[in-house]
Amino acid sequence: MKNIKIIEEEIEKILIKDKRSWVRLFELIREVELGALWKPEHLSFTRWIRHLAYESGVTESLIWKRKKAGEIYFDYQTRAKKKGLSVPRIEDVEVSPDNFELVEKISQGNKDIKDDLMDKVLHRELKRSELLSAWKSVKTIRQNDPGSIIKKNSHSEVGCSEGEKEIALSVSDIAISLTYSSWLDHFPDVTINTLTTHSQKKVYKLLPNFSFYSSITDRSHTIDFLVIENFTSKPHQLNLHSIEVVLSEEDLHRSFNSRQYQQHINYFWIAMSSNMIEEIGPKISDDYGLLEVDNGQIITIWKNATNKPAIEKIDIVQIAFIKSI
């Protein structure tokens, strides 16, 4: 076991001169915490962190964030080991610790979503800009009135079974699952013009409870979730996806109202839980794709939606732009 003074010297060197060595920083801080090496000079581990920040000329929050990033990865590593999966040692990780913090925030405690995001971050499949966009969407969902987002749950609070309540509660997880583009990975059109789109900036934006005025129908419409993306489009084009969440067969009939604004949207989807999709899925028109939400709240495509020509995207794109700036 190292002397506390030697550890502090190495930590201060990292904090002052080599801030990118966050993994080593985490290991040293963890060694002090687990071994209670901060005693007896400091009254608590927190006081020791405060001392480190003062001596190194950095904020306490920076040190706590680096510690948290290490713990997030350590927990991920532990879960992977239990599943028999091999993941890089923390010493070999070359990812910004800020990305791990974003993964933690986006997942909202859902370990399946967290592990899926971590895998993609480690394999460089998710950029920081995409994580920031996903976190912004999650914050929007959390800040809004829950009734405005989970608007279909109001009728399910009274006289419903525990199973129905469990399904209803999963809607917020559906929202979180949609905040990044993972569900599009196996979409058949995702390989369109791969060579020409390689250098193109990828756009993926989720807008929950999206309302817009249609110049065609001369009325307002609301979509549970609008997705704007160019992962499945030709160069310099955006595709619009309407996603309606279904918790019961009654909700399903209401979701078909989306036909009223079909000239504005490229893809129409209905999202429902795995325990509903086998029974209700075959009843749904081929005009709609089906998104399956499993027990871990991971979304996969159960049936593909077909691309429809959207002749009047401008009504939606303008509102989306205003909401985003």
pLDDT tens digits for range 116-156: 889 889 988 888 888 888 888 777 776 654 444 443 433 33
Confidence bin at 166 (pLDDT 50/70/90): very low
Confidence bin at 180 (pLDDT 50/70/90): confident
The chain-wide mean pLDDT, for the chain, equals 80
31 and 176, same domain (yes or no): no
- What percent of the chain lies above the pLDDT cut of 90? 25
267 and 165, same domain (yes or no): yes
Provide the domain limits for residue 72: 4-88
104: in domain: no
Task: Tell me the per-residue pLDDT of 72-87, one tens digit each, with 9 for 90 and over.
Answer: 999 999 999 999 988 9
pLDDT at residue number 2: 66
Residue after which a domain boundary falls, among 88, 108, 138: 88
263 and 317, same domain (yes or no): yes
Cis peptide before 40 (omega within 30 of 0): yes
148 and 81, same domain (yes or no): no
Confidence bin at 310 (pLDDT 50/70/90): confident
312: in domain: yes
84 and 169, same domain (yes or no): no
pLDDT at residue number 220: 86
In one-letter notation, the amino acid at residue 122 is L
39 and 174, same domain (yes or no): no
Is the model more confident about 221 or about 172?
221
Distances (CA, A) of 257 to 152, 244, 253: 14, 10, 8
**Angular region, 234: left φ>0, alpha ψ -120 to 50, beta rest:** beta
293: in domain: yes
In one-letter notation, the amino acid at residue 75 is D
- The mean per-residue pLDDT over the stretch 2-21 comes to 85
160 and 270, same domain (yes or no): yes
pLDDT at residue number 143: 65
Instruction: Measure the CA–CA gap between 177 and 266, rounded to whole angstroms.
Output: 21
**Extended beta strands in the chain, E state:** 204-214, 219-229, 239-245, 267-273, 289-293, 299-303
156 and 283, same domain (yes or no): yes
Distances (CA, A) of 295 to 45, 70, 203, 251: 39, 28, 28, 20
For residue 31, pLDDT over 90 is answered with yes
The domain total for the chain is 2
156: in domain: yes
70: in domain: yes
133 and 267, same domain (yes or no): yes
188 and 279, same domain (yes or no): yes
- What percent of the chain lies above the pLDDT cut of 70? 83
pLDDT at residue number 235: 61
Residue after which a domain boundary falls, among 28, 57, 88: 88
pLDDT at residue number 146: 44
Is the model more confident about 163 or about 30?
30
98: in domain: no
pLDDT at residue number 95: 87
83 and 132, same domain (yes or no): no
Task: Tell me the per-residue pLDDT of 40-53, one tens digit each, with 9 for 90 and over.
Answer: 899 999 999 999 99
Is the model more confident about 57 or about 294?
57
Structure tokens at 239: 């595709």
115: in domain: no
Confidence bin at 181 (pLDDT 50/70/90): confident
Confidence bin at 19 (pLDDT 50/70/90): low
- The mean per-residue pLDDT over the stretch 248-253 comes to 75
164 and 19, same domain (yes or no): no
- DSSP letter at 226 equals E
Residue after which a domain boundary falls, among 67, 88, 109: 88
Q: Which of 211, 199, 206 is nearest to 183 (CA)?
A: 206
- The mean per-residue pLDDT over the stretch 86-106 comes to 89
Instruction: Measure the CA–CA gap between 9 and 7, rounded to whole angstroms.
Output: 5
Instruction: Measure the CA–CA gap between 57 and 62, rounded to whole angstroms.
Output: 11
Given a contact cutoff of 8 angstroms between Cβ atoms, the answer to whether 187 and 281 are in contact is no
101: in domain: no
